[in-house]
Amino acid sequence: MTDPRPPQPEQQQSMPGLTEPMDPRPDHGETSYQGSGKLSGKTAIITGGDSGIGRAVALAFAREGADILISYLNEEEDARETAKWVEEAGRKAVLVPGDIGDPAHCRLIVDRALEEFGDLHILVNNAAHQASFEKIGDISDEEWQQTFATNIHAMFYLVKAAEPHLAPGASIINTTSINADQPNAHLLAYATTKGAIQNFTMGLAQLLADKEIRVNCVAPGPIWTPLIPSTMPPEAVKNFGKNTPFGRAGQPRELASAYVMLASDESSYTTGATVAVTGGRPFI
């Protein structure tokens, strides 16, 4: 399979970005991912499940046998498209829009999953907010607070709500980033939260080990998702992914197998780990 390489065509979107206008269109594994029953009978919450990495994970989980609750902000068109792929795999898709920066909404997400599925086996904390700034003085207090509310506070709210309902063998998977190890100065708020997510993951893994609830994270490198043309300047979009040894951005489908592995019972002794999917960029 030949994946697109930079330069990408000139393109910009308003935040939070949509899949349809992107050129090239991201590959979520629609025609390539083949399931083998690794998650048969399981249920999952995926935040940011409407597009990008979240859509690829939802598609893969469904083809592995899981029912999916798709949490998203307000991208209705993208969310319905993801639900279509989940349902085509023969699994149940539940759409829940709203702001995960609100603790009450996080509790609603967990309650809705339990209402729809009866139990909960997997929580994927994937949703993220980012924006680019040249100077620290350009970052408003509100922007800083929103980034932390979406990227790290929501993980705490969701885990706290879900934990009493997770049985031994359950899996929590958090999306961190290569920015946790190699922070992009122009993504200061975002990169700071991604470092916090990795630390949160490692601490939480120890805290929940006695319940045999596994907690891990995936650290993507540059991945071609709607977040890129909607939050980065034109030149950065054009050359996005060029700074990897592979010389290109990753496609969302190239992340899905890492999440499936961490969600499956085959990873029963893996907790507190970070799986880096970076196109060859070093991650310590």
**For 140-187, what is each residue's pLDDT tens digit?**
999 999 999 999 999 999 999 999 999 999 999 999 999 999 999 999
Q: For residue 72, indicate whether it is catalytic.
A: no
- Span 82-137, pLDDT tens digits: 999 999 999 999 999 999 999 999 999 999 999 999 999 999 999 999 999 999 99
43-277: CATH topology is Rossmann fold (3.40.50)
pLDDT score of 65 = 98
Query: What mean pLDDT comes out for the span 225-233?
Result: 94
- pTM above threshold 0.75: yes
- Span 234-243, pLDDT tens digits: 999 999 999 9
Query: What mean pLDDT comes out for the span 245-264?
Result: 97
**pLDDT > 80? residue 2:** no
pLDDT score of 237 = 96
pLDDT score of 1 = 57
- Span 29-78, pLDDT tens digits: 999 999 999 999 999 999 999 999 999 999 999 999 999 999 999 999 99
Domain ranges of the chain: 43-277
Which residue among the candidates 33, 190, 259, 269 is catalytic per the annotation? 190
pLDDT score of 281 = 93
Tokens of 169: 């063998």
